[in-house]
Amino acid sequence: MSIKVYGVQDIKKEIQHLDNTQLIELCLRLVRHKKENKELAAYVLFDADNEQAFIEGLVAENGFMFSQLPHNNYQLAKGLRKILRLLNKYVKFTSSKQAEIELLINFCRNYVQYVDRRASSSYKPLRLILTRQLDKIKAAIGKLHEDLQFDYSQDFNSMVGEAEDKLKWLNMNDYLL
């Protein structure tokens, strides 16, 4: 016996036939079962109308989390990955490339500011965390409109320049747009 899995289009058609009370019950039932569903519903209901304030709150939280990172290389890498998981979850909620770029550039700036430069040069996982995010930002900027590409590429290039000054292992020419 196997359970039939329905696609999004099938579910959408069925939802259109529900009345308001049934729809509310369905939403509340979904929210009760998974923490991420609850967080998404809270974002859509309370924060989606003011995305810039939401991003600013995330930037502040990101800065606080960076200030609390441990000094041990292994624990530091774990902490950085945790911060990235949270950022990626909230980027998924906003479904905005601009928000993704802003948050990732902020992450990279915080990385350069807070991560011990001696540790990052000798511990490869820490270097890879930054280089992957730089690649991800480059790819995301390439998907934007030309005007936005210009604005974000200038911000990105200045951030890479700052990173190269502080991190001797980073080659700026590999990442410039």
Please report, for the chain, the start and end positions of each structural domain, with discontinuous segments joined by +. Answer: 50-174
Mean pLDDT across the chain: 88
**Closest-CA residue to 175 (of 121, 114, 108):** 108
Least confident of 95-104, 114-123, 131-140, 158-167: 114-123
95: region left, alpha or beta (phi > 0 left; psi from -120 to 50 alpha):
left
What average pLDDT does the segment 50-65 reach? 93
pLDDT at residue 117, rounded to an integer: 62
What SS3 class is residue 161?
helix
What SS3 class is residue 7?
coil
Asked if 152 and 144 count as a contact pair (C-beta separation under 8 A), the reply is yes
CA distance 152 to 160: 12
Asked if 95 and 150 count as a contact pair (C-beta separation under 8 A), the reply is no
Tokens of 160: 């890479």
pLDDT in tens, 139-174: 999 998 888 889 999 999 999 988 888 888 888 778
- Rg of the chain over all Cα atoms, to the nearest angstrom: 20
Asked if 129 and 77 count as a contact pair (C-beta separation under 8 A), the reply is yes
% residues pLDDT > 90 (the chain): 44
pLDDT at residue 166, rounded to an integer: 86
What average pLDDT does the segment 8-21 reach? 88
